[in-house]
Amino acid sequence: MKEVIDSWQLWAGLAACFAALTAIFAKVGVANINSDFATFVRTIIILIMVWVIMLTKGAWENPATISAKTWYFLILSGLATGASWLCYFRALKIGEAAKVAPIDKLSVVLVAVFGAIFLGEKLTMVSWLGVAMIGSGAALIAWRG
């Protein structure tokens, strides 16, 4: 059982399920309010949820012990997340969830490309074929669906 709980595949699958629910819930939630305000509300809920989980698990770390490089990249990640969420909620406000979400998931393709370019990650030809199929599928859903 521990092997299953420590499996990245389980957590990635759960992330995908929750991301799908996020699109559906957000589309309904953003219908009658400003998309930026909706993003703000969502962010507050996430902040509270993560804070409770962190305290419950005893995962607090002394911020003074975190390296400057780690701070720098966490700040960049936070800014990118905020920009992504603002854009995503704006897209959901004006578009269909079934078309917005596949375009958002083109991030999978971009992660593969950026991972190869910036992190030196190596993907096999079969993996690149999968990346191309994800990109093609997202495009077909969003523009032809």
CA–CA separation, 93 and 87 (whole Å): 10
| pLDDT tens digits, one per residue of 54-102 | 999 999 999 999 999 999 999 999 999 999 999 999 999 999 998 998 8
pLDDT > 90? residue 6:
no
| pLDDT value, residue 123 | 96
Residue 144 pLDDT grade (very low, low, confident, very high; cuts 50, 70, 90): low
CA–CA distance, 89 with 95 (Å, rounded to integer): 10
Q: Is residue 92 within 8 Å of residue 26, measured between CB atoms?
A: yes
How would you label 12-29 residue by residue, b for 16+ Cβ within 10 Å and e otherwise? eeeeeeeeeebbeebbee
Residue 145, pLDDT above cutoff 60: no
